[in-house]
Amino acid sequence: MKLTPQPEGPIASLGRRASRPAVLGLLVVQHGGASAIVRTAPHIVQQEMKSRGALVAGDSNGGIFIKDRWFGSNDPVYAAARITEIISGANRPLSEVVNDLPDASLSKVHLVEATTLHTALNGILCDDSVFPGARISKIDGVRLDFADSWVYLEPLSEDGECYLHVEGDDEDCRHRLEHLLSSILKHKHPDLALPTLIATAIKS
């Protein structure tokens, strides 16, 4: 399942948000492409696609940008038609195609009136001494990547809301990171508590 590359560049994928699944980058590379995380704004995504010669970009909300045999990339109807064409050309049941996707377990929580909590979490995640060895990215918030999991805190909106995302290679990895983050928060800020994260996607 991959798009036909255009003459001017290789297949590439741009994860539109820092909440891009960790397995996505590896999957793209395994199919001969390159992967990158960029800022959220659609116009920035399209600029990056043009400059990098990328054919595909997407976000964690299900939005997909496809610039293949088409003039632009921000066209949901065309993206849906292309994906349907790609899947129909796989010559096997959709269930098999889905089963071949990498395993992952994702959860998130909506933090409301969370200025104080956001400040505390941001301080914890940006502190190198708390999670030594983690890879830190500060594109559209802060994200920490570990060998088997990652956590991403979105920027705080003007009305004091944001989302916290956690993903693991499986449910055990995700739960372990959730519990670790909760424990650290409780230790450093006894007056604060992390709400229960709700599983939004499990593939295993």
Q: What is the pTM (predicted TM-score) of this model?
A: 0.74
Q: Which domain CATH number covers 163?
A: 3.30.310.50
Q: Which of 42, 68, 99 is the last residue in one of the domains?
A: 99
Q: Which of 44, 65, 99 is the last residue in one of the domains?
A: 99
> Same domain for 76 and 61?
yes
> Same domain for 90 and 127?
no
User: Per-residue pLDDT tens for 64-112?
Assistant: 888 888 776 778 888 889 889 988 888 888 889 888 877 788 899 999 9
Q: Which of 99, 114, 147 is the last residue in one of the domains?
A: 99
CA-nearest of 54, 189, 57, 191 to 130 is 189
Confidence of residue 127 (pLDDT cuts 50, 70, 90): very high
- Are 65 and 46 a contacting pair, CB within 8 Å? yes
Domain count, the chain: 2
User: Per-residue pLDDT tens for 39-49?
Assistant: 767 778 888 88
